[in-house]
Amino acid sequence: MVEAAWLFLGLLAVLTGASAIATALSWKSRRKGDVLPDALANLNSRIKAWWIMVGAISAAFFFGKGGVILLFAFVSFAALREYVTLTHTRRGDHWILIGMFLVIIPVQYYLLWIEWYGLFAIFVPVYCFLAMPALTAISGDTARFLERVSEQQWGIMLSVYCISHVPALLTLAIPGFAGKGLLLIAFLITTVQGSDVLQYVFGKLFGRHKVAPKVSPSKTWEGLIGGIASASLLGAALYWLTPFTPVQAGLMAALACIMGFFGGLVASAIKRDRGVKDWGHMIEGHGGMLDRADSLVFAAPVFFHFVRYFWT
């Protein structure tokens, strides 16, 4: 698609420019014999990670629907693995855990492949939520039963159900927008991830007032407002990727970015509860898979259902 090609070229130009600036700053610092500042080292690792992530998404887009579904099935698998490592499990949970990875993830994404929306929408929040505690009870291990079951249920809700709504955008039958679901995915990811970056930038430049200092000390009101406002403008500018008007695109981007902020905040609360800084170390400079996908966890299902209700 022409629109996707233009978006890819735009991202390529931004990443190339960022890499050139980071390389020049690093070269200047080393030339003076200085130790590379932490902020610059972090910037370099983040840019490298973005190259990898943009490359992976671009490759998935090249292979179309199948490639995108496989990519996000892998994202769910990696995210769930990171989540499970932070939970309390017992011997009686082993079959449930195996089922989460080898049954729930494949079935959820297969339902997307065959576009069975009715079952896709309720498979995890109804059938899995009922089956998992029942099977745990049958095992007879009741120690910390409620805690263990709740953690498992929320694991598949966050890592599988919510994330699967990103490729679910491919299944929407939008009049005049047939076969362009990939562009909606590109719009969602670009605005939500762009909001994360812009919130970080505005927070570093102008941040004074903490949003939730006990949960995420780095998040400020100045960063939040500046990041969401600028990401909404970015969304409005990218309306040509969507079936939306520029105003609608800006509002949908704002909605997704606000939900993305809450997703990141909830993920931070879970990490703080578990006493860890990152979900994992899969992506250099970005922590684990959930550290990158936490914004999409809340944004994707809300964005999907708004589009489905108002545009199909």
Q: Cα 248 to the chain's mean position, in Å?
A: 22
Distance CA(290)–CA(80), nearest Å, equals: 8
The yes-or-no verdict on residue 200 having pLDDT over 60 is yes
* Confidence band, pLDDT 50/70/90 cuts, at residue 20: confident
Total number of residues shown for the chain: 312
Mean pLDDT value across the chain:
87
**What are the extents of the domains in the chain?**
1-62, 64-311
Range with the largest mean pLDDT of 152-166, 207-221, 290-304: 152-166
What pLDDT is attached to residue 299?
96
| 41 band by pLDDT with thresholds 50, 70 and 90 | low
Residue 36 has pLDDT above 60, yes or no: no
Give the integer Cα–Cα distance in Å for 71 and 10: 22
Residue 44 confidence class, pLDDT cut points 50, 70, 90: low
pLDDT of residue 257: 95
Would you state the pLDDT for residue 66? 92
Residue 65: HSE in the Cβ half-sphere, 13 Å Cα cutoff: 15
Q: Say what the pLDDT of residue 56 is.
A: 80
pLDDT at 231: 93
CA of 271: how far to CAs of 82, 146, 164, 172, 220, in Å? 11, 20, 22, 34, 18
Per-residue confidence (pLDDT) for residue 230, from 0 to 100: 92
What's the pLDDT tens digit per position in 123-143?
A: 999 999 999 999 999 988 889
Give residue 251's pLDDT.
Answer: 97
Report the percent of the chain where pLDDT is more than 70.
90
Read off the pLDDT band of 149 (50, 70, 90): very high
Q: Look up the pTM and report it.
A: 0.89
Helix, strand, or coil here: 105? helix
**pLDDT of the residue at 293:** 86
Is residue 281 exposed (0-12), middle (13-18) or buried (19+ Cβ within 10 Å)? exposed
Confidence of residue 112 (pLDDT cuts 50, 70, 90): very high
In tens, the pLDDT along 247-281 reads 999 999 999 999 999 999 999 899 888 888 888 77
Distances (CA, A) of 157 to 71, 83, 100, 188: 18, 11, 11, 20
Dihedral pair phi/psi, residue 218, rounded to 5°: -80, -15
> In this predicted model, which residue has the larger pLDDT, 16 or 156?
156
Residue 91 has pLDDT above 70, yes or no: yes
Two tokens at 177?
């927008």
- Tell which wins on pLDDT, 248 or 216: 248
- The residue among 311 and 45 whose pLDDT is bigger is 311
Sequence-ordered list of residues with C-beta below 8 angstroms from that of 193, at least 6 positions apart, any chain: 292, 295
